Amino acid sequence: MSKQVLIVDDEETLTWSLAKSLSHDREAYEITTANDGETALSLMKDDRFDLVVLDIRLPGISGLDVLMKIKEDNPATKVIIMTAYGSSEIKAKAKARGSLFYIEKPFEIDQMRGLILKALKEDTARGFNGSITGLQLPDLIQMNCLSQVTTALYVTKGNREGCIYFEDGQMTHAQIGAIDGEEALFTILSWSSGSFRFVGGVKAPTTTINTNWEYLLIEGMRKADEMSLALEKGEINDDDIAPIDEPTRIVIKNISSLNECTGIAVVTSENEILHQSGNISNDINLSYITRFFLDVSEDIGSVAQSTPKKVSFIDQNRLILIYPFKIYILIMVFNRAVLSQETLSTIERVISRYQI
């Protein structure tokens, strides 16, 4: 079966010319063309390509971003970067994101043909391919930091996926959902099981971690031990461990300690439950309450100058409080219809302290 090559450039005349000229090698590879990054990525979802020839300047998503996405989803796919705006900086960025070759426009067709044939003959794996079992995340992190490689470590637990980026022996960025930096790293380190994969040559899109990796590992393991102890004591369930930041955890801990509080939940505006504790899932319909709060906020916001800071109502002699907290929605259930002024003041004080 012949190899599959995808050429991506916004100049239709160039992609047509390259496809026509390279058709002489049809026994070695087949050519497909695209004129923007979105189309290229869409094609790659449906078909497997051995090589992508990619221009940097594209309408919409840039060529470098397309390159990063290719290496994230299809790390074995090779990429040749071409550009009419060459510089050492762009070349370095392309190499860091995993490009195999780099060529500046204008070029001779034979130059491109030579690079394509060379790329397709390259061993698909420079290094080893396989899996490792029995290792813990700290082992993987230490291995990458000591080897001083540039790579991205994707870690999956259930339906959640986080990523840790490495460069020159240090962790530079971590992300899980809307959370990034050290808090995202500590959340990932709290997972006791899951799966992982490396994408080599990928640099972080931003830098959110500047602390030494050894300290972060020690601190992460300490936090993970605290989480394990809480699980053993039955203070939390494994399903409760979610990608929320430390200030939100503190709010949950403080409000949950109130005698009147029987449950608390953190939900996104997309109705994803990030945390739930106590009996809240049995007491109320979280999905319905979230939609109710969003609808009420929108209705009030359309007739008033601002949306409500909180909504409260009584259900079967229980008080339900709903707050927009940071980027989440905080839902609390209390075992009485009316709270004392002291308790209400405590809730307001805790939330206002950690709102920013």
What pLDDT, in 10s, does the model give residues 85-112? 777 777 777 776 778 888 998 889 899 9
Angle between helices 63-73 and 37-46 (to 10 degrees): 20
CA angle 9, 13, 16 (to 5 degrees): 80
Domain 3-121 and domain 244-354 have a common topology: no
Q: What is the mean pLDDT of the chain?
A: 83
Q: Indicate whether 33 pLDDT > 80.
A: yes
Extents of the domains making up the chain:
3-121, 137-227, 244-354
What pLDDT, in 10s, does the model give residues 184-223? 898 888 877 788 888 877 888 899 999 999 899 888 887 7
As a whole number, mean pLDDT of residues 26-44 equals 93
Res. 124 pLDDT band, cuts 50 70 90: very low
In this structure, which topology does domain 244-354 adopt according to CATH? Beta-Lactamase (3.30.450)
Closest CA to 210 of 249, 187, 180: 180
Res. 123 pLDDT band, cuts 50 70 90: low
As a whole number, mean pLDDT of residues 322-343 equals 90
Q: How many CB atoms lie within 10 A of CB 10?
A: 16
Closest CA to 294 of 338, 324, 251: 324
Q: Indicate whether 319 pLDDT > 70.
A: yes
Q: Say which range, 32-46, 114-128, 185-199, has the weakest mean pLDDT.
A: 114-128
Phi, psi of 42 (to 5 degrees): -65, -40
Q: Indicate whether 139 pLDDT > 70.
A: yes
Please state which of the four CATH numbers 3.40.50.2300, 3.40.50.300, 1.10.1760.20, 3.30.70.141 is assigned to the domain occupying 3-121. Answer: 3.40.50.2300
